Amino acid sequence: MIKRILLNLPVREAATSFLPLRSPLPPGGSKAKSGRDKGPKRTGELSNEVATGCALMKGESDPPLKPDSEYPDWLWKLLDPAPTASELQKKYERTGSQEGLTIQELQRLYRLKNKQAINEANDSTKK
């Protein structure tokens, strides 16, 4: 029955007839604006005891910082810069096979080479 009604109505009428209408905002604007979280009171203020701005729930305190020895080793490797395409290519050519690279390095090399080929093809077709 509903399908038959929808098929007979023009598209615009069918789409808008089932949507609820929004009421106009009150004269002072919406009430949600006044209750909105405005973020930290002072920007750029960091602490040596807590991870500033990392609270998961509203109203919770920020989690305390632990000594570096309590964090996993892989966390500190995230700050190391990723090898460039030329560095990976040199490492690949030195070993003479794919076995000299880890899977992540090999994937990065292929991704960077593919990007480079796309950019060269786009540059050659520019007018």
- Tell me the pLDDT tens digit for each residue of 5-60: 545 545 555 455 555 555 566 666 555 555 554 444 565 567 778 888 788 888 88
- Establish if 90 belongs to a structural domain: yes
Residue-number span of the structural domain to which 100 is assigned: 85-125
- Establish if 19 belongs to a structural domain: no
CB within 8 A of 45, min separation 6: which ones?
52
Mean per-residue pLDDT over the chain, rounded: 75
Task: Calculate mean pLDDT across residues 103-125.
Answer: 92
- Establish if 112 belongs to a structural domain: yes
- Establish if 103 belongs to a structural domain: yes
Please name the residue ranges forming H helices in the chain: 2-8, 11-17, 32-35, 73-77, 85-95, 103-125
Number of domains in the chain: 1
- Establish if 118 belongs to a structural domain: yes
- Establish if 116 belongs to a structural domain: yes
Residues 77, 94: contact at Cβ < 8 Å? no
What is the pLDDT at residue 115?
94
- Establish if 15 belongs to a structural domain: no
- Establish if 40 belongs to a structural domain: no
